[in-house]
Chain A
Amino acid sequence: MHTTSGALNRRRFLGGSLALAAGAAAGPFLAACGGGDSGGKATEINALLITGGDRYPAYWEKVTSAFKEQTGITVTYDLLQFTPLTSKEITLAAARSTQYDVYSTHTAQIGAFFPHFEPLNNHFDAADIADFFPVAIKYMTNPANGELAAIPRNMDARTQYYRRDLYEAAGVQPATTWEELAAVGQQLTGGGRFGLVLPGQGDPAQRQFADFLWQAGGEWLDQNNNVTFNSTAGVEALTFYRDLIQTHRITPSDVVTYQWNENSAGFTNGTCAAVFDWPGAYASFGDPALSTVSGSFATAPMPGHKTETSCAISHGLAINKYSRKKDAAAEFLRFTVTPDALVDQYAEFKNYPSRVSTADQVIGKAQGPEQQWLSDLRTTIENGKEWPKVPGFDKVSTVVQTAVQNALSNQMSPQAALDAAAEESTRILQQAGALR
């Protein structure tokens, strides 16, 4: 039974007591400092930002310096890679920390943070928000109250990267359907090389399953949030995923231990002829210092089955709900998603712009393979989805990750694995109060 109010509530008691004590102690101090008012003009804000490579520190330094020059507001920031960043934000949100005013975030995890991020609807014009890709805004918005929790900085969607030289030599085209994917993969597998590489562990495995689930015409949940990922479509999706590894054998046999890095490495080291990868991979695949296939790859849209749906997600920035400098934080957020900032981000990292108008501008200037790639990405984004944003879904996704691995490693049949996960997920959603 989910109790929402009136019941014994330790968090409220502790929170109230601590707030009372802290307020009594801190009041005179804050008054003396003249801070504490979100409406006041802050001169310094703290941000917890994402990093992911050598160029990120210089990039954020450039952004924050330009912001200070324009507004006079200093941004002090810490950089963390995605996984530790998420763990730290979970800890800080659980503690109602005021340490950071701005958080870097992502659609994949934002469901857990809806109660802890400041709604942005009052900080951004509706007309301005309309310029962002609808799929990004949809999944950054709390479905329970329609409040926008983060502003998307860039779009993350996958395209098919393939070895143009190998495909031409074999006389095959990039796959457009599941059947072609298996057939082309088999044709290119042999002599120590594999036709395809997929992730099979953790969150990446969940995303791959999500793509196949949607492409098979399935959904995670129905309109009342009942579990549907173990439907016929779900079983078909997981069976196809498993068969690519265990029956068709077109992937390395140990992909059940692969996440994104191993996935990308299989393509860049030349052992795998195709991979589904994110926008950032375009730059690293094309860099001769990082890739043995820099001059011999091309891109194509994701293959489909009953639909051509794939993940379309985004990195974003949010304001800590417990921040005391929300106006200054909002100013920083607005600064990071201006069209100029998005164009700069594309130039720096090949990050696909989150604004439709900016994406059009970038595609218009691109040429040759790069323009093809951007158009392929645009197709994925326009067909794109993300998993449901309902309370408890973070736990459901962890349960599904285990189920997917159970099937991929032949410990359970796809049907049995998904049924077991569905049963547990139903209980989780009930406890979280998500079922309608």
Chain B
Amino acid sequence: MAVSQNVLARAPVARHSRVTPQWLTGYALAAPALLLMLVIFLYPLGHSFVMSFFRWDLNTAESPFVGLGNYLDLFTGSSFMQTLRNQVVFTVASLVIEVVGGMAIAVLLNSKLRGLRPARTLLLIPPMVAPAVVGLNFRWLFNEQYGLIDATLVRLGLPAIPWLSDPGWALVSVIIANAWQNTPLLVLLFLAGLQAIPREPLEAAAVDGASAWRTFWAIVLPLMRPVVVIALMIRIIDLFRTFDVVWLMTQGGPGNASNLLTVEAYKLAFQSVDFGHAAAVSYVALVLSLIVLALLYGIPRLTARRAATWQN
């Protein structure tokens, strides 16, 4: 016993833990990573936030403080409100298509129909393609003179659609291209969620004679709620930073018809060389997406609390 106590007293680990608290060691080990995060993430974030309160462009050596001037300019300008509307339409429409479409495809793939295995593999292709490539491909597919889609429509005796040149269709076109690339990602998420649902309630519903539709609404969808919420969060973050596809397909045009916040920020920074306003647009986008995410995070908690109150 005495020997073992002696050994323990000499053990370096025991002596080390007495001198340095465990939490301090943890922080020391994490410090390089934290420092790196500060430099590459927080500094640019803070820098651009400060920049949004200054008139900051390349034309002059001075950059005076303008307070909320850049933000006021945006909201009183001729086109920013249309850009905001476009962003809302783009986000909502994309979410509806991707979530509803993604769920439908996931349910289909989760069924016992034969021949669906290759489809699951094919689903991996769109998310693997770079958004820039998707943008270029859809620009060609939607081309009115040489595009495959209009050529097919005309062969079927239907009128060609001015996909990218008509203000009404331009935003629709980028929504379609974006949905093509991202819906499969949600299919995979939903498929994983569906396969994790316990079999007992489904078997009980079957014994009770519930229809497939009733089973989906009453059992599958409520159990899938956490997966759907996570999927929505991922997509909302992505949709507010969509750039490549829109830029390559329409550059936000014609006019302002398919302009989104990221495209506007890029135009302001790299065409107008106006970094102050570009930073302000970026922060409008950030705040908007945070509000939507907060609502999304808060509503299920609120409804859950109400449900608990009613049960009590």
Interface residues of A (CB under 8 A from B): 2-5, 7-12, 86-87, 90, 93-94, 111-116, 200-203, 252-257, 271, 391-392, 394-395, 397-399, 402-403, 405-406, 408-409, 411-412, 420-421, 423-424, 427, 431-433
Q: Which of B64, B250, B254 contacts A406 (CB 8 A)?
A: B254
A202 touches B251 (CB 8 A): yes
Kindly specify which of B91-99, B197-205, B267-275 makes contact with the partner chain: B267-275
Nearest residue (CB) in A for B77 is: A424
Which 10 A-B residue pairs are closest in the complex by CB-CB distance?
A: A395-B272, A406-B255, A3-B64, A409-B254, A391-B59, A254-B165, A11-B63, A254-B144, A112-B58, A112-B273
Task: Please name all residues of chain A whose beta carbon is closer than 8 Å to the beta carbon of B61 when the two chains form the complex.
Answer: 11, 115
Nearest residue (CB) in A for B259 is: A402
Q: How far is the CB of A257 from chain B (nearest CB, A)?
A: 5
Nearest residue (CB) in B for A431 is: B55
A398 touches B272 (CB 8 A): yes
B162 touches A433 (CB 8 A): no
A257 touches B64 (CB 8 A): no
A395 touches B54 (CB 8 A): no
A2–B276 Cα gap in the complex (Å)? 14
Of A93, A115, A116, most B-chain CB atoms within 10 Å: A115
Task: Please name all residues of chain B whose beta carbon is closer than 8 Å to the beta carbon of A395 when the two chains form the complex.
Answer: 57, 268, 272-274
Task: Please name all residues of chain B whose beta carbon is closer than 8 Å to the beta carbon of A431 when the two chains form the complex.
Answer: 55, 73
Known interface pairs A8-B64, A11-B61; 10 further A-B residue pairs with C-beta atoms within 8 A, sorted by A's residue number: A11-B63, A94-B275, A113-B58, A252-B145, A405-B255, A409-B166, A409-B167, A409-B253, A409-B257, A433-B60
Is B62 part of the binding interface, using a Cβ–Cβ cutoff of 8 Å? yes
Is B133 part of the binding interface, using a Cβ–Cβ cutoff of 8 Å? no
Q: Which of A3, A9, A114, A397 contacts B59 (CB 8 A)?
A: A114
A420 touches B78 (CB 8 A): yes
19 pairs, CB–CB < 8 Å, chain A vs chain B = A4-B62, A5-B62, A11-B54, A86-B270, A90-B273, A112-B273, A114-B59, A201-B251, A395-B274, A397-B271, A398-B268, A406-B254, A406-B255, A409-B165, A409-B253, A409-B255, A421-B78, A432-B59, A433-B60
Task: Please name all residues of chain A whose beta carbon is closer than 8 Å to the beta carbon of B144 when the two chains form the complex.
Answer: 252-254
Interface size on B, residues (CB 8 A): 42
Of residues 269 to 309 in B, which have CB atoms within 8 Å of A's CB atoms?
Answer: 269-275
Task: Please name all residues of chain B whose beta carbon is closer than 8 Å to the beta carbon of A87 when the two chains form the complex.
Answer: 270
Task: Please name all residues of chain A whose beta carbon is closer than 8 Å to the beta carbon of B183 when the two chains form the complex.
Answer: none
A271 touches B253 (CB 8 A): no
B255 touches A394 (CB 8 A): no
Task: Please name all residues of chain A whose beta carbon is closer than 8 Å to the beta carbon of B56 when the two chains form the complex.
Answer: 11
Q: How far is the CB of B44 from chain A (nearest CB, A)?
A: 12
Task: Please name all residues of chain B whose beta carbon is closer than 8 Å to the beta carbon of A111 when the two chains form the complex.
Answer: 59
Task: Please name all residues of chain B whose beta carbon is closer than 8 Å to the beta carbon of A420 when the two chains form the complex.
Answer: 78
A116 touches B63 (CB 8 A): no
A219–B60 Cα gap in the complex (Å)? 24
A394–B270 Cα gap in the complex (Å)? 10
Interface residues of B (CB under 8 A from A): 50, 54-65, 73, 77-79, 139, 143-145, 162, 164-167, 250-251, 253-257, 267-275
Q: How far is the CB of B48 from chain A (nearest CB, A)?
A: 12
A90 touches B58 (CB 8 A): yes
B272 touches A411 (CB 8 A): no
Task: Please name all residues of chain B whose beta carbon is closer than 8 Å to the beta carbon of A114 when the two chains form the complex.
Answer: 59
A5–B63 Cα gap in the complex (Å)? 9
Q: How far is the CB of B73 from chain A (nearest CB, A)?
A: 7
Nearest residue (CB) in B for A89 is: B58
Task: Please name all residues of chain A whose beta carbon is closer than 8 Å to the beta carbon of B268 when the two chains form the complex.
Answer: 395, 398
A201–B259 Cα gap in the complex (Å)? 13
Nearest residue (CB) in A for B63 is: A11
B64 touches A394 (CB 8 A): no
Q: How far is the CB of A325 from chain B (nearest CB, A)?
A: 22
**A115 and B60 contact, Cβ closer than 8 Å, known pairs A254-B162, A411-B257:** yes
A125–B232 Cα gap in the complex (Å)? 65
A116 touches B78 (CB 8 A): no
Q: How far is the CB of B8 from chain A (nearest CB, A)?
A: 49
Q: How far is the CB of B20 from chain A (nearest CB, A)?
A: 32
Task: Please name all residues of chain A whose beta carbon is closer than 8 Å to the beta carbon of B62 when the two chains form the complex.
Answer: 3-5, 9, 11-12
Nearest residue (CB) in B for A420 is: B78
B254 touches A257 (CB 8 A): yes
Q: How far is the CB of A399 from chain B (nearest CB, A)?
A: 8
A398 touches B254 (CB 8 A): no
Of B59, B63, B78, most A-chain CB atoms within 10 Å: B59
A294–B71 Cα gap in the complex (Å)? 53
B63 touches A10 (CB 8 A): yes
A424 touches B78 (CB 8 A): yes
Task: Please name all residues of chain B whose beta carbon is closer than 8 Å to the beta carbon of A2 when the two chains form the complex.
Answer: 55, 64
A392 touches B59 (CB 8 A): yes
A10–B267 Cα gap in the complex (Å)? 24
Q: How far is the CB of A146 from chain B (nearest CB, A)?
A: 17
Of A11, A111, A412, most B-chain CB atoms within 10 Å: A11
Task: Please name all residues of chain B whose beta carbon is closer than 8 Å to the beta carbon of A433 when the two chains form the complex.
Answer: 60
Q: How far is the CB of A302 from chain B (nearest CB, A)?
A: 25
Nearest residue (CB) in A for B252 is: A402
Q: How far is the CB of A270 from chain B (nearest CB, A)?
A: 12
A255–B57 Cα gap in the complex (Å)? 32
Q: How far is the CB of B39 from chain A (nearest CB, A)?
A: 15
A394 touches B273 (CB 8 A): yes
Of A201, A254, A397, most B-chain CB atoms within 10 Å: A254
Task: Please name all residues of chain B whose beta carbon is closer than 8 Å to the beta carbon of A253 when the two chains form the complex.
Answer: 144, 162, 165
Task: Please name all residues of chain A whose beta carbon is closer than 8 Å to the beta carbon of B167 when the two chains form the complex.
Answer: 409, 411
Q: How far is the CB of B67 from chain A (nearest CB, A)?
A: 10
A424–B268 Cα gap in the complex (Å)? 14
Task: Please name all residues of chain A whose beta carbon is closer than 8 Å to the beta carbon of B63 when the two chains form the complex.
Answer: 9-11
Q: How far is the CB of B112 from chain A (nearest CB, A)?
A: 46
Q: How far is the CB of B76 from chain A (nearest CB, A)?
A: 9
A286–B273 Cα gap in the complex (Å)? 37
Q: Which of A5, A112, A257 contacts B165 (CB 8 A)?
A: A257
Task: Please name all residues of chain A whose beta carbon is closer than 8 Å to the beta carbon of B139 when the two chains form the complex.
Answer: 257
Nearest residue (CB) in B for A269 is: B146
Nearest residue (CB) in B for A205 is: B253
A202–B253 Cα gap in the complex (Å)? 9
Task: Please name all residues of chain B whose beta carbon is closer than 8 Å to the beta carbon of A411 when the two chains form the complex.
Answer: 167, 254-255, 257
A10 touches B65 (CB 8 A): yes
B253 touches A254 (CB 8 A): no
